[in-house]
Amino acid sequence: MSLFATYIVLLIAIAAEVVGTTAMSRSDGLTKLGPSLITLVGYVIAFWCLSIVLRTIPTGIAYAVWAGLGIVLITAVAWIFYGQKLDTPALIGLGLIVAGVLVINLFSNSVVH
């Protein structure tokens, strides 16, 4: 699998995790069937895709991208759809996370096995 395709699969994994986490927040402790099923399916897809990514990208790098972008995206979803308030320190922190992911992917030689 090409590096470009690997990153597409990683983005799918991240998106599935964000969907799963968003649904989990609406599942009332996994007691509501619909959101609980979306959570389960989202995480199954996310981890399946991540397992494919780990064939090409080292675990630490893949997880750093997964976690960093996942944090930023789930925060954006909470802000846009659920009115979560973000103050200046939160925005600065999120910017630093994005910067860290960019530094890893643009400047590190550790990205590919």
Measured between alpha carbons, how far is 33 from 95 in angstroms, rounded to an integer?
A: 35
Measured between alpha carbons, how far is 74 from 72 in angstroms, rounded to an integer?
A: 6
**What's the mean pLDDT in 74-91?**
94
| pLDDT at residue 105, as a whole number | 82
**What's the mean pLDDT in 83-99?**
95
| pLDDT at residue 6, as a whole number | 95
pLDDT per position as a tens digit, 53-73: 999 999 989 999 999 999 999
**What's the mean pLDDT in 79-94?**
95
**What's the mean pLDDT in 6-31?**
96
Whether residue 38 contacts residue 88, with contact meaning beta carbons closer than 8 Å, is answered with no
